[in-house]
C-alpha cells in the first residue's frame, strides 16, 4: 500500500490540480484565500461570470465526506456545492460575499441557535462519532501528558459514545470563522467536517470558539444558552466539549486557549 501523501507533497501538486480543475469546469481563477490548515481555496468565476470558490483539500478522514454533507444540506444554512471531483478532492462552491466571519458579529449565538437545527439532517451514511471517539481515545492515551486532562477526556470518551441519542448530521468544526456573511442568506456555514452524532456534540466547537470571548464566564454562557435554547442535555454537551477539545488540541497552535476552556468546564462539571 502506498504511503499517504504528506501535506507538503500535496501542496507541491496544488498548481497542477488548480489547472486541471479550472479546465474541467471552464473556470477563470482569481486570487487565493489565506491558506487553511489542510486546504487551498481560490476565487473563481463560472463561464457566465457567476462568482464561485474552487477548493482543493488535502485528503484526511475528517474532511473526506465534506461534499456529501454539503449535498445533504443543499444550501439550507450552508454554502451550496456546485460541483465535485472526488479524484482530485476538489469542490466548486458558492461564493459568500462579503464573507465576513461570524466571530465579528455581536449576535453570533443568535445566528448559531438558528442555524444548528437546520444542519441536523439525517446522519445516515456518514462516519460515526462512536468510531471517531475510539481514534480520539487512542490519541489521548498516547499523546496527552497531563493526567487530569487525559483522565477527564478518556472518561467521557468511554461513557458517552454508546449512550447517544438520535444520530444526526453534525459539523464538528463549527467555530466562529466557519460561518460567513453572504447575499443569499445573511450567514452560511462552510468547511464541514461531518459526523453522524447526537445533537449535544454539535455545540462543542462553539463552546471552545474563543473568538466569541475567552473567559470562564463567556464559555459557560455559550454552553448554557446553546443547551437551554436548543433543548439539549447540558452535561453531555459539556462532556463532548471536553473530550473533543483535548483530543483535537494536541499539536495545535491554540492548545493553551483551548485547554483553558477545558479546565473551566471541568471546574463546573
With helix as H, strand as E and coil as C, how does 38-71 read? CEEEEEEECCCCCEEEEEEECCCCCCCCHHHHHH
Give pLDDT, residue 239.
98
Residue spans of beta strands (DSSP E) within 70-193: 81-85, 90-94, 168-171, 179-181, 187-189
| CA pair distance 67, 64, nearest whole angstrom | 8
Which residues are CB-neighbours of 210 under 8 A, at least 6 positions away? 254, 257, 258, 261
- CA geometry: angle 190, 8, 32, nearest 5 deg: 45
Within 13 A of 26's CA, how many CA atoms are on the CB side?
A: 5
| CA pair distance 260, 247, nearest whole angstrom | 14
CA 93 to chain centre: 16
Active site residue 85: no
Q: Which helix (H) or strand (E) holds 30?
A: strand 28-32
Give pLDDT, residue 196.
98
Give pLDDT, residue 117.
98
Per-residue pLDDT of the chain in tens (269 residues, 90 and over written 9): 345 678 788 888 899 999 999 999 999 999 999 887 678 999 999 999 999 999 999 888 888 999 999 999 999 999 999 999 999 999 999 999 999 999 989 899 999 999 999 999 999 999 999 999 999 999 999 999 999 999 999 999 999 999 999 999 999 999 999 999 999 999 999 999 999 999 999 999 999 999 999 999 999 999 999 999 999 999 999 999 999 999 998 777 889 999 999 999 999 98
Give pLDDT, residue 38.
73
Give pLDDT, residue 35.
80
Backbone angles phi, psi at 234, to 5 degrees: -60, -40
Give pLDDT, residue 1.
39
| Cell numbers describing residue 66 | 465534506
Q: Are 189 and 171 contacting, i.e. CB atoms less than 8 angstroms apart?
A: yes
Give pLDDT, residue 2.
46
Query: Among candidates 85, 167, 173, which has minimal Cα distance to 129?
Result: 167
**pTM reported for the whole predicted model:** 0.94
Q: How many helices (H) and strands (E) does the chain have?
A: 10, 9
Distances (CA, A) of 246 to 12, 209, 230, 253: 31, 14, 24, 13
| CA pair distance 163, 160, nearest whole angstrom | 5
Catalytic residue chosen out of the listed positions 85, 151, 173, 191: 173
Amino acid at each position: 500500500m502506498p504511503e499517504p501523501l504528506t501535506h507538503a507533497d500535496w501542496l507541491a501538486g496544488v498548481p497542477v490540480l488548480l489547472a486541471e480543475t479550472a479546465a474541467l469546469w471552464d473556470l477563470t481563477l482569481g486570487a487565493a484565500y489565506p491558506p487553511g490548515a489542510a486546504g487551498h481555496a481560490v476565487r473563481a468565476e463560472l463561464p457566465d461570470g457567476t462568482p464561485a470558490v474552487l477548493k482543493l483539500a488535502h485528503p484526511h478522514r475528517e474532511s473526506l465526506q465534506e461534499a456529501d454533507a454539503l449535498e445533504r444540506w443543499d444550501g439550507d444554512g450552508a454554502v451550496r456545492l456546485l460541483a465535485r471531483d472526488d479524484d482530485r478532492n476538489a469542490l466548486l462552491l458558492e461564493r459568500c460575499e462579503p464573507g465576513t466571519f461570524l466571530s465579528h458579529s455581536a449576535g453570533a449565538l443568535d445566528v448559531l441557535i438558528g442555524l444548528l437545527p437546520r444542519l441536523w439532517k439525517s446522519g445516515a451514511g456518514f462516519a460515526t462519532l462512536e468510531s471517531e471517539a475510539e481514534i480520539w481515545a487512542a490519541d489521548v492515551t498516547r499523546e496527552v501528558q497531563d493526567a487530569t486532562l487525559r483522565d477527564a477526556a478518556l472518561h467521557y470518551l468511554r461513557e458517552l459514545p454508546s449512550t447517544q441519542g438520535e444520530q444526526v448530521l453534525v459539523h464538528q468544526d463549527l467555530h466562529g470563522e466557519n460561518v460567513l456573511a453572504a447575499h443569499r442568506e445573511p450567514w452560511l456555514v462552510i468547511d464541514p467536517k461531518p459526523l453522524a452524532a447526537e445533537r449535544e456534540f454539535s455545540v462543542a466547537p462553539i463552546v471552545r470558539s474563543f473568538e466569541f470571548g475567552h473567559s470562564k464566564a463567556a464559555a459557560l454562557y455559550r454552553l448554557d444558552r446553546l443547551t437551554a435554547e436548543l433543548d439539549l442535555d447540558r452535561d453531555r454537551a459539556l462532556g463532548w466539549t471536553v473530550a473533543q477539545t483535548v483530543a483535537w488540541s494536541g499539536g495545535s497552535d491554540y492548545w493553551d486557549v483551548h485547554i483553558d476552556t477545558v479546565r473551566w468546564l471541568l471546574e463546573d462539571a
